[in-house]
Amino acid sequence: MRNLRLWLRAEWDRVLGTALIAVGAVLLLVTYQGVANSRFVADQASYLASGGLGGLFLLAVGAMLRIQADLHDEWRKLDRIEAALRGEELPDPDAVLAAARTAPASVTAPRGELLPAGASAAGLTLDWKAHRLRRPLGFAAAGLAAALAVGGAGFQHSANSGSAGRAFGGLAAGVAGLSLAALAAGAYTLALRRRFGIRKVALLAGWLAPTPPATAGAAPAPDVVLVGEGLSRFHAEGCPTLTRVRTVRVPRAEVGDRTPCAICGAR
């Protein structure tokens, strides 16, 4: 049970996004059945203004949270790379999780931040304040709340109206609310991508600079390189991205379709 709570704490956005997408799909199915079984245009418009637009709203929010979860995974990877570049020792995640199963007390990361019970410096959680992620999230929440209010007003306007004109007026208000929700979700996603790109460039710019062409006197490529289980790149000895990653040494000629790591300059 404690492992489940830890997983939900670390993956809340992915879990919530998946749940909202599932509920939105069910709402669209119910709306389709209601519209198909209704003989009155006003009732059909009312179904669309409630379940139809409501389902699309949940799908938009769920997709936003799923994208957010993927970006958070990339952010956690940057945390590990930054710690490795600074020479900070990362605790073994398996050892930290094993300790969390027996002790509910919080643990402290090497930099001094207080992490939730069971979390590790590997980055199971995000510091929203330190990474300046609260403002985009606040704007997105405000935009979604306004969209929900507009959509709810449209539903109230069209529900049980008995008039096609009034029902379509409420449907138009619901479409406006849905457009506002899509705008808020899109702006939030773009803001996260922008912040992630800025941090990635700031962290890896020195490593990703173009390398000069090899000269005739350049050292030959090593005969043995490092590969990690499940990784699509091969690495040179001492690559900072391989911290806490199980690797094996293989001949350079047997790396197959793996590509060289641009950070350590493997070739």
Q: What is the pLDDT of residue 193?
A: 84
SS (H, E, C) the chain: CHHHHHHHHHCHHHHHHHHHHHHHHHHHHHHHHHHHHCCCHHHHHHHHHHHHHHHHHHHHHHHHHHHHHHHHHHHHHHHHHHHHHCCCCCCCHHHHHHHHHHCCCCEECCCCCEECCCCCCCCCCCCCCCCCCHHHHHHHHHHHHHHHHHHHHHHHHHCCCCCHHHHHHHHHHHHHHHHHHHHHHHHHHHHHHHHHHHHHHHHHCCCCCCCCCCCCCCCCCCCEEEEECCCCEEECCCCHHHCCCCEEEEEHHHCCCCEECCCCCCC
pLDDT digits (tens, 9 = 90+) for 51-61: 888 888 899 89
Q: What is the pLDDT of residue 20?
A: 93
Q: What is the mean pLDDT of the chain?
A: 75
What is the percent of the chain where pLDDT is above 90? 6
Question: Which is higher by pLDDT, 217 or 262?
Answer: 262
The pTM for the full model equals 0.60
pLDDT digits (tens, 9 = 90+) for 100-153: 555 544 444 433 343 433 333 334 455 566 566 778 778 888 888 888 888 888
- Give the mean model confidence (pLDDT) for residues 79-103: 65
Whether residue 1 is predicted with pLDDT greater than 90 in this model: the reply is no
- Give the mean model confidence (pLDDT) for residues 64-93: 76
